[in-house]
Amino acid sequence: MFAQLILKECRQTAKSIIYWLIVLILVIFFSSQLGNMDIAKKPKPGLESYGRYYSSNEQDIMKATLGYLVSEYTNGKYVTYPIGFYKMVTPDKEEQKRIGEIISETTGLDTKEEMEKALNAETEDSDAEASDKKKNHIIVLGGAPIAPSKTLTYDRFGELMREVDHLLGGGSQYNKKHLKTNAATPKTYEQALQEYEDLMEKDHLTGGYARLYSDYMGIMLGILPVFLAVTRGMRDRRSQMRELIASRRASSASVIVSRYISMLIMLMLPVLLISCIPLMECIQYAASGFHLDYLAFVKYSFGWLLPTIMIATAVGMVLTELTDTALGVLVQLAWWFLAIFSSMSSMSGGMYGLDLVPRHNTEYNYAGFHAGFTQLAANRVLYAVISVLLIAVTVWIYSLKRKGRLDIRGKLLGNRKRKSQA
């Protein structure tokens, strides 16, 4: 009975124009972003640049962050990106005084003159350095690195930077997440080669590309499923079938859960099918005898993308069932908007936090993925659990409506309407 319901719902979904629009959008998006995918080539020695990486060395992070903090403090203005949008913060006297005290504790610099001198000295030093030494220099936004005081521990530094971030209202370069991206350092040939070898040996080539695929497709799957869920939720009312379905023997849980599972199945289908394209490219590229992970795309699609699909669908279902409107679209869009813009600083991967759409916009950085795996797994499990809870709430709302106890549209809004004179 339950399996039959799922099959029926799958057929219903396959007849929906919204579903086919979603498939079309996924195909177009994939083609535009990953259509001309270049498989990584072994780096050659002697190139001018191999890109940059974020140093995880605690001394580098402290130097770069303090350099940036001192330069902002001397200007009296601080740039923050609460959701990825530029926001200039001008702290009041008390806050600026406290930031000055923090700089004094972390760098030993007490006056503005000393700070400016330190900034200029660092700049002059870095100008004078030999070119090969320069290649390893930390790049500091709008300033130069400043050495922390010798007694400063990394824990105390983190604590004080959190306080600065709090004083600035969040979203600054000093919050825990951004600290890791402050010490941008040019990559050496050896590091570039190591990343390539990680991609080939640890990721078996397909692992890296499956992450890149998940990164791009996650952007779309953070919003598109809500359209399908809202359309499906409103369909019964539009086609005046609600009362008929309500009178059937199937339990409320069977109706809602079968709907939910069928939508997940139908949404996962194009995701899995499209992933065959980059998989084929990896197979073509790999030399014979090379050990590829053929199931990498399947594993990443289920582990990385399915929880995103689950939550976006669940939000659409619960809000449509509750309000009988397209409110779910607006709510999910607002959430998606905040999630996408606020995760722009963690696009290189390894910093997944609680992001709705975890970012890893590179086929490389296996080390970052490996280090952040627990965080990523917790993130995905959390969203899957929330989705299940939302579906349980949807079942409850639906059962109340079936019993005629909750009909927001019919009772509350319906009574407010007055006759049109037009």
Partner 1 sequence: MANYWEIGKENLRHNLLIHAGIALLLLCFSPLVLGVKNLGLSETAKVLEIYVALIGIVLITPVFLPEQNRDLRDLIHSKYTKVASIYSIRVIESILVLMLFLGIYLWFLHRNGCEMDAAMYFAGTLAEMLFLGGLGIISYSLTDNLVAGYMIPIFYYITAIGGGKKFLKSFYPFSMSQGSYSEKYWLLAAGIVLIILGIRIRSRK
Q: Which residues form the interface with partner 1 (CB under 8 A)? A: 17-18, 21-22, 25, 29, 32-33, 80, 82-83, 85-88, 90, 219-220, 223-224, 227, 230-231, 234, 238, 326, 329-330, 333-334, 338, 340, 417, 420-422
Q: Where are the alpha helices (DSSP H) in 108-179?
A: 112-128, 131-134, 154-167, 176-179
Q: Of the two residues 42 and 238, which places its CB atom closer to partner 1 in the complex?
A: 238
- Return the structure tokens found at 399: 């059962």
Q: What is the DSSP string of 348-366?
A: TSS--TT-SS----SS--H
Q: What is the closest distance, in whole angstroms, from the C-beta atom of residue 221 to partner 1 in the complex?
A: 11
Looking only at the bridges linking them, the beta strands covering 87-89 and 78-80 are antiparallel
Q: What is the CA radius of gyration of the chain?
A: 26
Q: What is the closest distance, in whole angstroms, from the C-beta atom of residue 90 to partner 1 in the complex?
A: 8
Q: What is the closest distance, in whole angstroms, from the C-beta atom of residue 128 to partner 1 in the complex?
A: 33
Cα dihedral 183, 189, 192, 193 in deg (nearest 10): -150
How far apart, in whole angstroms, are the C-alpha atoms of residue 304 and residue 379?
Answer: 10
Q: What is the closest distance, in whole angstroms, from the C-beta atom of residue 343 to partner 1 in the complex?
A: 13
Q: Of the two residues 86 and 289, which places its CB atom closer to partner 1 in the complex?
A: 86
Residue 88 has phi, psi (to 5 degrees) of: -90, 125
Contact criterion met (CB below 8 Å) for 307 and 384: yes
- Return the structure tokens found at 35: 């259509």
Q: Of the two residues 160 and 223, which places its CB atom closer to partner 1 in the complex?
A: 223
Q: Of the two residues 81 and 196, which places its CB atom closer to partner 1 in the complex?
A: 81
Return the number of other C-beta atoms located less than 10 Å from residue 21's C-beta: 14
Residue 188: strand pairing partners = none
For residue 60, the one-letter residue type is D
How far apart, in whole angstroms, are the C-alpha atoms of residue 196 and residue 42?
Answer: 6
- Return the structure tokens found at 29: 């998006």
Closest to 188 in 3D by CA, of 145, 136, 139: 136
Q: Of the two residues 288 and 421, which places its CB atom closer to partner 1 in the complex?
A: 421
- Return the structure tokens found at 48: 């001018």
Q: What is the closest distance, in whole angstroms, from the C-beta atom of residue 407 to partner 1 in the complex?
A: 17
Q: What is the closest distance, in whole angstroms, from the C-beta atom of residue 142 to partner 1 in the complex?
A: 15
Q: Of the two residues 138 and 223, which places its CB atom closer to partner 1 in the complex?
A: 223
How far apart, in whole angstroms, are the C-alpha atoms of residue 209 and residue 363?
Answer: 5
Q: Of the two residues 265 and 333, which places its CB atom closer to partner 1 in the complex?
A: 333
Tokens 């000093």 belong to which residue? 174
Q: Of the two residues 135 and 242, which places its CB atom closer to partner 1 in the complex?
A: 242
Q: What is the closest distance, in whole angstroms, from the C-beta atom of residue 75 to partner 1 in the complex?
A: 13
Q: What is the closest distance, in whole angstroms, from the C-beta atom of residue 18 to partner 1 in the complex?
A: 6
Q: What is the closest distance, in whole angstroms, from the C-beta atom of residue 330 to partner 1 in the complex?
A: 7
How far apart, in whole angstroms, are the C-alpha atoms of residue 418 and residue 282?
Answer: 63
In whole angstroms, how far apart are CA 339 and each of 55, 79, 186, 211, 222?
25, 20, 29, 18, 9
Q: What is the closest distance, in whole angstroms, from the C-beta atom of residue 26 to partner 1 in the complex?
A: 10
Question: What's the farthest any 2 CA atoms get from each other in the chain?
Answer: 83
Return the number of other C-beta atoms located less than 10 Å from residue 28's C-beta: 12
How far apart, in whole angstroms, are the C-alpha atoms of residue 331 and residue 223?
Answer: 10
Closest to 107 in 3D by CA, of 142, 74, 76, 141: 74
Q: What is the closest distance, in whole angstroms, from the C-beta atom of residue 340 to partner 1 in the complex?
A: 8
Residue 88: strand pairing partners = 79
